[in-house]
Each structure stands twice: as C-alpha cells, then as structure tokens.
Chain A
Amino acid sequence: MTAPDITMEQMSLKYDSVTALEDITLRLTGDKIYALLGRNGSGKTSMLSVLSSFRPATSGSVKIGTEEVFDNERATLQICFIRDDKNVYEEETAKDALAFAANFRPNWDNAYADRLMNMFQLPYNKRVNTFSRGMKSALGVVMGLASRAPITIFDEAYLGMDAPSRYQFYEEVLRDYIEHPRTIILSTHLIEEVESLFEEVIILDQGKILMHETLEALSQQGVTVTGPAEHVDAIAQGMTALGEKQLGSTKSVTLFGILSPEARESIKQLNLEIEPIGLQDLFVHLTKKQKGV
C-alpha cells in the first residue's frame, strides 16, 4: 500500500502578530524520503506541526490523501511526528511508553521496537526523565520507526545522539524504508551526514518555500568555477552567482542554475576548474543570500 500524498495549499500560520509560515503550497507524493532544510527560525517545525495536526493552520489547507488533516483521525492516525523533545510522557518508563504506542499506533511492530531498543541499548524499566539527552532522542527514534506510520517525520530527532548512534539511526531509516516503503520526512541541520538518503529536498526560508527539487536535480544546479578572473567572469555572466572569492588573479564563483553546453565547452577550452557543490554548501549559499535582502 502506497502512503497517501501530502498536499498543502496556500497554508499560512501566524503566532499572534508574527507570521511563521506564509502561503505554503507543496505536494509530496507518497513513499519517498524527503529532506526539510532551513535555518533556525525558518518555520520547519511550524510546518511539520501543522502537517501533523499538532497545531491548526491560520489559513489554507493541509491534506493527506483527500482528508483534511486537522483534528481528523482518518489522517492523524497515519502520521507519526517525532520531535527533538517531548515524544513520550517522561514520568513513565520506556516500557510503558512502548505499551502506550503499541496500543494506539495502528501499524506498530513490537518485535522491531525491541530490536531497536536493544540496538540503542535503552533500558525498559527506567523512567524516561532519568534518560540522558541522547537516550531520549534514541527512544524517540524507536517510537518513530516502530510505529511504521505511512507518514513518519523526524524533526531534528538526533539531538544529543553521538555520531555512531546517529549513523545507526540513518542506516535503520533506510533499511526499514526499503522493507516497508513509506513517506519519511527528515528535518536536519546535519545535511552531509544524511544527504545520500534523500530523494527530494525542500528548503524553507523565512516561512516560505525557497525550493522543492529532487536531490538529483538540485545537485546539478550548483557548481563552482575557478580560474583566471576574466574567464570566470565571462562564464558567470547571465547566471545567478551565489558567492565569489578572489585570490590574486584567480577567481572562484559559485553559480546556481544549469550550465549551458556552450559554457561547459568554454570551461573545457579555457581549462577552468569546475566542481559541483554539495547539498550542504548549496543550502548555505542559498539561504545566506536571502538574509537581509
């Protein structure tokens, strides 16, 4: 069974007088792994909260399949939203939290939850509020993965987890996604660590969608061209420059967009250095540019 599509139309969210999200229109087809990127305060958590019915939108619509999400169990029971904190009632033990999830999550897999608990070496019989930051996060990951919800969202769920546990988390996301395809949305600041897992990337900036592309398309859109300043400038002409650096007569320009065949040819002819830029660099350039405009 394919996970239902997510459709947001002209969705806005205001906190009192502050606009957190403005006019979000987005369509996410089912069974893909999405990256949601954005700087602090760009509205990532707000958007995911509205998507998960954690809070109502101020205007616009958010649907899962054909169901309007807000306060609608036909939609909300299909969503599992794991945040960096408060994923379980912390006065209780991990065992109680898992039993609660088993009771209320329609697709919960007990055996899988046990395997993950083991993997992250989490104790069953200790109260969650005695857990370290990393252990709480790992428990969140267990809750998120074992719920097997058609739409599973991790919002900086790795907080406090050390590098080995984070990599276990990523590996498990991919492994379980391959076995049980579903829509997974990962909101993260650690882009380089997870980049290869993504199929599509959404970038939020100041409450608006800056970009929604496949990772493939996006990674072809950023290049850095380095060489003698006059040649580099000639190539850069007419394209969006995200940044430039100069060292003596050598110039390096980061360009956004797809290079024309002519440009590629002249880069070759002039023996300029050309390098694709990674998603993380591209993200940094794109969101830096927007600030203060």
Chain B
Amino acid sequence: MFDERSPIYLQIAGQIKDQIVRGELQEDEQVMSTNQYASFYRINPATAAKGFQQLTDDKILYKKRGIGMFVSQGARERIIADRRERFFQEKVDVMMAEARAIGIPWDELMDYIKQREGADSQ
C-alpha cells in the first residue's frame, strides 16, 4: 500500500495533495478525518495526524475547530507551483542521468517526447 522509502505521514500528505491537484478535492471542501484515514490505511491515528499537521503547516489545509479539516484557498496553485519548482530537478535530471548512463542520445529522447506528446494530444 505504501512504499517503504518515505514515512507514512508524508505519503498521506502526498495523497491528499494529489487529490487536490487532480481536482478531486476542491477549495473549502472538507477532507476525511484523521481517524477515517487511520482506519482506512490501518495506521495509528497519530501518524495520520502528523501528515495533516504538515499540510496545515504548509497552509494547504486549514482547521475548523470541532468540525474538521478543509482545503485552503489557493492550495492547488501552491502545490502546483511547488511541484513545478522541483520537477526538473527530481524528474528530468534523474531521467537524463539514466539516459546518459545507458547511452540514449538526446535526439532520440527528444523525438520520443515529441512523439508521445503528439499521440497524447490526439
């Protein structure tokens, strides 16, 4: 269910962010509670709460006392901006390093990307 490499609470935070980016969670929409998350993923509620804590610290969620957690205004934009910032370093650099290691020329790589782009947009 979770990959072993990063702490579970970060993975939970990541999943909620994914849902926001994909538009499954709208601004000011209520998010499932920590307890619901905990029982769904079979984890300790404190662990789930830590993921939520991180999201409130990053101002992606906000808390309404006694009601629950909600998606902040502009959360989607903030997540996207953050991911764009890290995209080249985390995804492209890694891809290029691998391509270099196994000897795929840049032209071939670029051709492939253009071809996929064409196929996807059809």
Contacts and interface: CB of A to CB of B under 8 A. Distances in A.
A and B touch in the complex (CB under 8 A): yes
A170 interface: yes
Question: Chain A's interface: helix, strand, loop or mixed, by majority?
Answer: helix
Interface stretch (A67-75, A195-203, A252-260): A195-203
A215 B47 CA distance: 9
A219 B44 CA distance: 14
A199 B7 contact: no
A258 to B, nearest CB: 13
B38 A199 contact: no
Contacts of A178: 35, 38-39, 45
Nearest to A177: B45
Contacts of A32: 46
Contact of B9 (A170, A175, A216, A275): A216
A220 B5 CA distance: 11
A199 B46 contact: yes
Interface residues of B, number: 17
A135 interface: no
Contact of A175 (B5, B39, B43): B39
Contacts of B46: 32, 199
A276 B5 contact: yes
Interface string B17-59: 0000000000000000001001101111111001000000000
A225 to B, nearest CB: 14
Contact of B38 (A170, A174, A198, A215): A174
Interface of B: 4-9, 35, 38-39, 41-47, 50
The 5 tightest CB contacts between A and B, nearest first, are: A196-B43, A199-B46, A199-B44, A178-B35, A197-B44
Given A178-B45, A196-B43, A216-B7, 7 more contacts: A33-B44, A174-B44, A178-B35, A196-B8, A215-B47, A220-B7, A275-B5
